[in-house]
Amino acid sequence: MTSIETLEHDVLETPADDVTAAPVAVTELADEYGDPARYDLEYGTAGLDVPFYLALAERADGTVLDVATGTGRIALAIAEAGHEVTAVDVNPAMVEFAIDKDVDETVTWVEQDARELKVRGKFGLAIVAGNALQQFVANDDRAAVLKAIYRQLAPGATFAFAIRFPHTSELARRVETPEIWHSYTDVTGSQVIVSGTQRYDATSQVMTHETYRQYAVDGTPAAAPTTTAVRYSFPQELEAALAAARFEVEATYADFAGTALTTESAATASALVYVCRKPETTKR
C-alpha cells in the first residue's frame, strides 16, 4: 500500500501485520492540527527531511525562517545546530506547544498567518516543510505565501520546500473504507492504529482525508476523527507559481537524499522537493 501520510515524514511506525482497523462511528470531524500533543507524538519524530534542511541552513548565509512550523520539528533541530531561527504558525495551540518544547528558548516563535507573513529581519533561508505548502489550496493563498516569503528573504537567499509527489495512480485511488496508514505510541505507551479514507477532486486538485485513530488492543477510539484537505501540484504548475513570485529554481529532487527529479526518478519519487533562490539583484 502506498500511503499518502507515510510520505509525510518517512519514519512513521508500521503496525503489525495482524492489526486491523475496527469500524468506527463518525459523529463529528475535528481539526487535524487541533491537538498538538497528539500530532507531535504521531509526526514529531526527526524525519528524513531534517538533515536535508539542516544542510541548507549550514550553507545559508544568515538566519532561518520556518513557515508553518507546526510543533517546531525542524525549527528546533536547526536551532539546536546553532542557527538563529524564527518559526511561524497560524495555529496558536501549535505555537504554544512548540514554545513549551523549546526549554532553552532557542527559537523566536510567532503566531501568524503565513499569507500575511511579516516578521523582523531578512533571512538567508526560508523553508516550508512537512507538506505544509499543500495547506494553501487556492492559487491566491499560495501566491500570497510565496510573495510574503520572498519579501522576508535577503537577496541571494534560499527558499526550500517539499510536498507530496502527485502520483496520478495515488490520486485516482479513492478509499471509502478506512485503510491502515501507520501507528504511533501514545503517552500511556499504548499503540494507536491510524487509518483513513481519501477522495481526490481533480478540478480543485484537493485531496480530502478522514483520519481515524484507534487503540490497537481493542479498537476503541484514541482520538476524535479528523479531516484535512490538501492541494496537490504538478511540477510545471509549481514552476509557474514560483516564477510569478520571482523565485529562480535551483534544483528539484524526488526525495530528501538529493535524487534529481527526472522522468525516471519521478515514477518512484517519495516527495517533490524544490530548492529556489531569490535573485541577488531584483528587477523592478
For 150, the grid coordinates are 520572498
Closer residue to ligand SAM, CB minimum distance, 22 or 137: 137
Phi, psi of 48 (to 5 degrees): -70, -15
List residues near ligand SAM by CB under 6 A: 33, 68-70, 73-74, 89-91, 94, 113-115, 129-132, 135
Closer residue to ligand SAM, CB minimum distance, 142 or 216: 142
Q: How far is the CB of 68 from ligand SAM (least distance, A)?
A: 3
**Cβ–Cβ under 8 Å, residues 67 and 114:** yes
DSSP string of 84-107, one letter each residue:
-EEEEES-HHHHHHHHHH-TT--E
Q: How far is the CB of 39 from ligand SAM (least distance, A)?
A: 8
Q: How far is the CB of 89 from ligand SAM (least distance, A)?
A: 5
Q: Which residue, judged by CB position, is nearest to ligand SAM in the bound state?
A: 130
Closer residue to ligand SAM, CB minimum distance, 42 or 178: 42
Q: How far is the CB of 208 from ligand SAM (least distance, A)?
A: 15
- C-alpha distance across the termini of the chain, in Å: 49
Closer residue to ligand SAM, CB minimum distance, 101 or 115: 115
DSSP string of 225-239, one letter each residue:
EEEEEEE---HHHHH
What is the bridge-based pairing of β-strands 64-67 and 123-128?
Answer: parallel
Residue with cell 505544509: 132
Q: How far is the CB of 34 from ligand SAM (least distance, A)?
A: 9
**Cβ–Cβ under 8 Å, residues 107 and 123:** no
Closer residue to ligand SAM, CB minimum distance, 74 or 125: 74
Closer residue to ligand SAM, CB minimum distance, 162 or 216: 162
Q: How far is the CB of 233 from ligand SAM (least distance, A)?
A: 15
Closer residue to ligand SAM, CB minimum distance, 132 or 216: 132
Q: How far is the CB of 18 from ligand SAM (least distance, A)?
A: 30
Q: How far is the CB of 20 from ligand SAM (least distance, A)?
A: 27
* Paired strand residues for 272: 163
Closer residue to ligand SAM, CB minimum distance, 8 or 216: 8
